[in-house]
Structure 1
């Protein structure tokens, strides 16, 4: 995590706790000529635009006070969407029983991408049940091999 995202996280957490929202992710990226600070928030029932606006307003005030970013940037606060990223252990725990998309750093059983149901997560490994044509297979993936993971919307 970069210094900017660490600072923003420390500023955002108290605001989100007050609003009973969860911090899902923070991105600080340059796209073209512009810098973007993206904050993804959620709660069990989902977030609406008013809540995102309120977080943006309160966080913007704190960012102006602390001023951790010295150049112009765009602040965006939004829901992580239906295919939200899974980054923290608690994200994986909440996703057990749901469909996931997992990419690994290196092949496991000659594959690097797995999409299916997250059957279990024990903090060290996740187990995904997925289909290959008509066969159902199960794979256990060590967390240190996970490059990216997100919830997945599967179409039958």
Structure 2
């Protein structure tokens, strides 16, 4: 055997990519995915006596997260969350291939209850909310104030300085602030 034997060149493995390295998804595509998840998830939740409160789909440091908030009278249990996660996860794997790699989280709304549906802004009228918009309104994208109602797909929000009209289509994210059923001004006892 010759001293000049060929050595295999060691190839450097390409850097590993995580889901967080994925290119950003357009806001419109995210909205389409959220709408599709609502369409698939609402009937599933309703069949279990559960309300699908909100669906969020966003990119975080650990990758893309599909977060569902569910509720029912008396509150949801861990078993409710696990059942919805299992059933919806299986359904999404088949019906929503374009979603790519994601983590599915299902939980109760908690005290910072998300507002996902137009009806939620009317339902929680009189409660304090934080709203983030996709485009600036009066030079700002973040607002905090009391929900005053809904008219023609526009949310009325009373802040410390004035009242704002926020088009529903511009809302990127909205949540109640420190909400509990005990503080719900619309609850009649």
TM-score (norm. length: structure 2): 0.60
1:121 Cα shift?
2.1
Say if 1:87 and 1:64 are closer, same or farther in 2 by CA, change over 3 A: closer
Say if 1:24 and 1:129 are closer, same or farther in 2 by CA, change over 3 A: same
Say if 1:14 and 1:146 are closer, same or farther in 2 by CA, change over 3 A: closer
1:65 Cα shift?
4.5
Corresponding position: 1:101 with 2:126: no
| Residue 47 (structure 1) aligns with | 76
1:20 Cα shift?
2.0
The number of residue pairs the alignment matches comes to 148
| Residue 164 (structure 2) aligns with | 140
Greater C-alpha radius of gyration: 2
Greater Cα shift, 142-151 or 115-124: 142-151
Give ranges in structure 1 of 5+ residues lacking alignment. Answer: 132-136
| Residue 152 (structure 1) aligns with | 177
1:101 counterpart SS class: strand
1:4 Cα shift?
4.2
Give ranges in structure 2 of 5+ residues lacking alignment. Answer: 1-27, 180-189
| Residue 134 (structure 1) aligns with | none
Q: Matches of residues 110-129 of structure 1 in structure 2 within 5 Å?
A: 112-129=141-158
2:131 counterpart SS class: strand
Structure (1 or 2) with the greater strand fraction = 1
Cα RMSD over matched residues?
A: 3.1
Match of 1:58 among 87, 107, 121: 87
Greater Cα shift, 143-152 or 97-106: 143-152
